[in-house]
Amino acid sequence: MLYQSTRGDNSKVASAEAIAHGLADDGGLFVPESFPKLTLGRIAELTTEPYYKRAAYIMGLFLKDFSKEVINSYSKAAYSIEGVNHFYNDKIAPLKKLDKSTHFLELWHGPTCAFKDMALQVMPGLLTASLRKTGEAKDVCVLVATSGDTGKAALEGFRDVAGTSVIVFYPRDGVSEVQKLQMTSQSGSNVNVIAVAGNFDDAQTGVKAIFQDVDLSNELGKTGYILSSANSINWGRLVPQIVYYISAYCDLFKSGEIELGDKINFCVPTGNFGNILSAYYAEKMGLPINKLICASNRNDVLTQFINTGVYDRNRPFFATVSPSMDILVSSNLERLLFELSDRNGDIVSAYMKDLSYKGLYTIPSSVRNELNRVFDSGFCSEEDTMETIKETFENSDYLIDTHTAVAYKVLNDYREKTNDKSISVVVSTASPFKFCEAVLEALGQPKSGSGVTLIEKLSDVTGNVVPMPLISLENAIPRFKNSVAVSGMKASVLDFIKER
């Protein structure tokens, strides 16, 4: 299993090199040269296995240059009760049945209470092992641009991991108070957290520019460091995310909700497109999927793209109550375009150039037809997000966060539009306690206090137990208070590394 760039470079590398370097030399993203096939018989066999064994098997199909023993050890350490036990639900990614045709895939039972834990608890091991396999003697500086959740998950995953440092850039006014405190109070001698004056797209653009800065790379090399990424542009982030879609199908079959081979829908709230792309990769492997429903908030650039074939980032940016989706430049869409364009890197490169210089690109009807074969889409307003949280709690006694609410509303709109009665899974990406201010407002509670002070109030109002990782935030003290302009991001990386 080798990997190639989405932008036309025909050279191929093993998975260890793809993970170690994050981006291809031509600026493209690494993708596998082919997709392994998953038979219904093998899905049935995985149904009897615990999550960590399902994960080890699926990841092993893509990471052929790692031994089965190594992959199993990393998976067991991340996901099993016999390992480090970072997850506080032994099912790791449990399903919550809401009604006969609707299930919620809860991906927030990890140490940071967001779905990014599903990958970032195993990725540090994969990255450090990849560096060793490629003969890299230097330490690695992991750069992260976050819209809220990736940052904390990366900080927690790489905290005090030997041979690594991690720097997280987040939009100064674009995350929730709980998300901000989670990041800025992070422990660890090898971590740094920096606010960026701008939105997530600004932070992400700044990180990409750092990766492409040859002079900076050379300067870091002299200090004994190379750069890598923990964002979903890194293949090491996407592989573990494929697992939970397959695992959810296994659990639906195991519980008798579906017959083996039945096609189901997944509705995914997404901004950077990595989460729903992982579901698409599962479909390419053979997972019986009917539709992947892409759910957007008010920043509906992905919905417009799927509906019209035009990707246009020349639009207003809105700060919403679902901040992890407040993104206008969806990096992982490049990987989907590569597949939809018959793996023609030159075409993808042209799209990316148009996006860079014009702010938009248009796909031909042939590509759009293939896109619409698998994907549907919709967006949710701020008002509908809040109303969905309220209705779901009042009618079903189930508390959801703002991002999950976006997906549930979009799923219901899709059903009304299509009359599709297939079993559908809403991908629940974060605990409602990470966005307690908005959730309390949705429930009609008067505003009193903010951020961490509202965690206990939300528990009192709803009767839901506060997730264990968030309880300690009450006494957390911010360590990191630096803020920079986008133009200052490069210097902040150098300063941190030189202080190490």
Q: 3-state class of 28 per DSSP? A: coil
Which amino acid would we find at residue 191?
V
Task: Provide the Cα torsion 169, 175, 178, 180; round to 10°.
Answer: 30
Give residues with Cβ within 8 angstroms of 399, minimum separation 6: 389, 392, 393, 432, 439, 462, 464
Residue 216: CB atoms within 10 A of its CB come to 17
Fill in the DSSP letter of residue 466: P
Neighbouring-strand partners of residue 170:
195
* Residue 227 · residue 141 · CB < 8 Å: yes
Q: How far apart are CA 444 and CA 259, in angstroms?
A: 41
CA proximity to 51, closest of 130, 107, 112 = 107
Candidate list 76, 116, 284, 291, residue with the active-site label: 116
Structure tokens at 201: 């797209």
- Rounded distance between C-alpha atoms, residue 75 and residue 56, angstroms: 6
Residues 163, 457: Cα–Cα separation, whole Å: 41
Q: Two tokens at 134?
A: 């490629």
- Distance between CA atoms of residues 183 and 151, nearest Å: 7
Which residue bears the tokens 């965690």?
455
Six token digits for residue 70: 């190594």
Known catalytic membership, residue 116: yes
**Closest C-alpha to 118, from 175, 165, 156:** 156
Q: Is there a contact between 1 and 37 (Cβ–Cβ < 8 Å)?
A: no
256 phi/psi in degrees, rounded to 5:
85, 10
Q: Give the pair of three-digit tokens for residue 48.
A: 């009897």
13-14 β-sheet, strand order: 13-14, 2-5, 30-32
Q: Please, are residues 272 and 330 in contact by the beta-carbon 8 Å criterion?
A: yes
Three-state DSSP at 329 gives: coil
Task: Report the catalytic residues.
Answer: 116
